[in-house]
Structure 1
Amino acid sequence: MVGPSLPHGGLWPTRISTKTCLPDLILATISLPLYLIGLPLSYSFDFNYQAVFNFGDSNSDTGGLIAGVGEHLYPPYGQTYFKNPSGRFCNGRLNIDFLMDSMDMPFLNPYMDAIGVPSFKKGCNFTVASSSILPATTSSVSPFSFAIQVAQFVRLKARVLEILKKDEKQICRFFTIDPKTLVPLTVQKLYDEGARNFWIHNTGPLGCLRQNIAKFGTDPSKLDELGCVPTHNQASKLLNLQLHALCTKLRLQYTDANVTFIDIFTMKSNLIANYSKYGFKQPLEICCGYGGPPLNYDSRIACGQTQILNGNSANITECSDNTEYVNWDRIHYTDAANLHVSSQILTGKFSDPPFADKMPFPVKINF
């Protein structure tokens, strides 16, 4: 991957016919999810989608890495909602889970998982944790770069259309592409496959990731008012400016497509700055970590692991109340924080163009 996985993610719906051979998607880049959704050019909303397809990294991975490379997650991952590790790098649900739930659709099964007879009738998740835009190298955790994920989708689409080649009825689909995956050539590939509605999330505040604070924020006097690394957050802002400009360029280049920009940076920065307002008590400290305040983070041991540190056995356990924490591990958010971010996305107030006045139903996310 190009840098660490980032705690953002999201997705939205799209509609397409088998005649045009492709649905819309959601895409993301190094920490900017870009999603393609099914909106007419007038940006009216129709949430009658039959399937969702997702691309990205750990922010929306529902088990791809675990199934694809035999990786393991141990408790307390998954304990809050699934009661066992579910393949998600979280104690519970991800943004994609909450957004699927808001549309009364089931959670997505990983493309890589063949156990338990997974159903792809309502969509498929091609996302794999630690995946990147660039092709994988010998040191990559995941060999499934964005191009590979798209190739997997193209193959799945071809097989489905082969099976349904005599069925010309319209199929509604929702395609999503999560963090670290937006490049013009890839967008062109998706466009050529029929994608017409792009839903793009920018990157969150990278300077507030716990591993970055621990590594680059050792001098407290050089942290910003939120306790984050200002240089990394400035880099996030510069990246987001370029992403916004790219969205404008895409609108001009693909005049028959919709491009919606979602400001994840503002949502997450606001959550960290005003955490108590939203019912949290720990904006930066890790729930599943080691070392105690202020970050409860030690790079030598990960959530769910037991290691020998300084001659003694160290075991990471979950905090007493994970609903009080924004951060689950070194780079991922808790179930509660993902719920908050998803709820903010669904207000439509952080999008360009905005859709707050076009929501066809009240925001409803099941707990």
Structure 2
Amino acid sequence: MALNMYSLLKLVLICSFLPTNSPSSLNYPAVFNFGDSNSDTGGIVAGKAFPLIPPNGETYFLEPSGRFCDGRLIIDFLMEAMELPYLNPYLDSVGSPSFATGCNFATGGSTILPANAVSTSPFSFNLQLSQFFRFKNRVIALLLEDKELQRYLPPEDSFKQGLYMFDIGQNDLDAAFYSSTSEEQVLASIPKILSGLKYGIKRLYDAGARNFWIHNTGPLGCLPRIIATFGKNASNLDELGCIISHNRAANVFNLKLYDICLKFLAQLPEANCTFVDIYSIKLNLISNYSLYGFQQPLAACCGYGGPPLNFDTRITCGVTKNLNGSIVTANSCNNTAKNINWDGNHYTEAANRFVADLILSGNYSDSPHLANAPLILT
């Protein structure tokens, strides 16, 4: 019965994201992003001095760039498609960063629910919102003092005309599975989680935001870390080798998240909402990895332990330490372009490029805004 419900949820999601026929351009003067490590471009490294070490960044930036990846993230490719610079993190002031075309408030480990004593990141969604409102107020005040600062700061009308992006909630689900005694408790927590997001989006709308871009959460149960932790019993795995309960919870979360776009924002007369089905894109990639040129669907590229997951909870990407009397290093794989997963928790640049290309195709979105957007893959 559970598997049938799981299949039904997937079917509903697929039917919800049929491509539209209305052409439009992906053209915004600025982007303001809220999220977790899936779109963090350096926030947690700056805010908590998180030790993100090589080989992170090796593929594109040639050094750690504040991203949990060997290269670029989905948001980087989307910024390229909009012909805008990569977003600088709000928390990083070193090097006189420009915020003329937006700001990134996302930080690794962040949740929608307020952070607590065991949270990885203190910068939960409500705090990211507070940072945004301080940023906006300071920008407006500074521009009144000196118009020359427009070289570094967004003009005031960008706050209304800009795009507000959200990719957050995965860590809330993840934490719920560790703190709950049953899957039912996890599912019961989802409305409370999403109420925080809905409240925050309404605050932004009341402050003048009009263009909202929401990513749903990916297949949490297909991350090597989750499989290594919860997959010791084969009955917990689906036909792909992913954790059934985690993916089922992600689907329920996504259906309720879609309601925010479909029903809640529809009640706001000037709101424009683009809802992107990240879950289906990533599950399609994992399910059909060989068709897209990948060789490893579930193994971490940068990790330790060898097949099938190359992941060990005791050692993270790039770290060298003593395990069971031996000095070992969690090294990068030989060809990152053949792996979907980077470090057990995040995706490689190659996978992020694939996902971004399908986002820009418009086929996984309920909004017409992507119809004329340029593709990335060649």
TM-score range, shorter chain: 0.7 to 0.9
Matched, 1:352 2:366: yes
- 1:159 counterpart residue number: 138
Q: 2:297 aligns with which of 258, 283, 299?
A: 283
Structure 2 Cα separation of the partners of residues 169 and 157 of structure 1: 8
Q: TM-score, normalised by structure 1?
A: 0.83
Q: Does 1:173 align with 2:162?
A: yes
For residues 239-269 of structure 1, the C-alpha deviation after alignment (integer angstroms, 9 at most, x for no partner) is 1221222322214421321222211111111
Q: Deviations over 1:45-104 (max 9, x none)?
A: 344432222111101111111111111111100111111111100010000101101112
Does 2:112 match 1:112? no
**Residue equivalent to 2:208:** 194
| Native 8 Å contact 1:290 1:298 kept in 2 | yes
1:108-257 → structure 2 map (5 Å cutoff): 108-165=87-144, 170-171=157-158, 172-180=161-169, 183-257=197-271
Q: Residue 348 of structure 2 is aligned with which of 326, 331, 334?
A: 334
Q: Secondary structure at the match of 2:297?
A: strand
Q: Which amino acid aligns with 1:139?
A: V
Unaligned runs of 5+ in 1: 1-41
Aligned to 1:84: 63
Task: Work out whether 1:362 is the aligned partner of 2:369.
Answer: no
The reply to whether residue 95 of structure 1 matches residue 74 of structure 2 is yes
Which of 328, 332, 338 is equivalent to 1:314?
A: 328
Aligned-residue offset at 1:222: 4.0
* Structure 2 counterpart SS, 1:237: helix
Deviations 1:107-147 (A, max 9, x none): 11111111111111121111111111122222222211111
Q: Which residue pairs with 1:297 in the alignment? A: 311
- On the 8 A contact 2:84/2:101 being kept in 1, the answer is yes
Describe the SS at the equivalent of 1:113: coil
Is the Cα–Cα contact under 8 Å of residues 288 and 319 in structure 1 kept in the other structure?
A: yes
Deviation at 1:363, TM superposition (A): 1.8
1:267 pairs, out of 257, 270, 281, with: 281
Question: Structure 2 stretches of 5 or more lacking a match?
Answer: 1-20, 148-154, 170-192
Larger CA deviation: 225-234 vs 315-324: 225-234
Which residue, out of 26, 30, 43, partners 1:51?
Answer: 30
The one-letter amino acid of 1:131's match is S
Distance change in 2, residues 1:348/1:220 (3 Å) = same
* Conserved? CA contact 1:66–1:72, under 8 Å: yes
Q: What is the distance in 2 between the residues matched to 1:278 and 1:249?
A: 35
Relative to its length, the structure with more strand (as a share) is 1
For the residues of structure 1 that align with 2:368 and 2:133, how far apart are their CA atoms? 31
Letter in 2 for 1:283: P
The amino acid across from 1:271 in the alignment is L
Contact 2:23 2:368 in 1 (8 A): no
Alpha-carbon distance in structure 1 between the residues aligned to 2:220 and 2:357: 21
Residue 83 to residue 203, structure 1, CA distance change in 2 (3 Å): same
Cα contact 1:275–1:281 (8 A) shared by 2: yes
Compared with structure 1, are the counterparts of its residues 187 and 285 closer, same or farther at alpha carbon in structure 2 (3 Å cutoff)?
A: same
Structure with the higher fraction of residues in helix conformation: 2
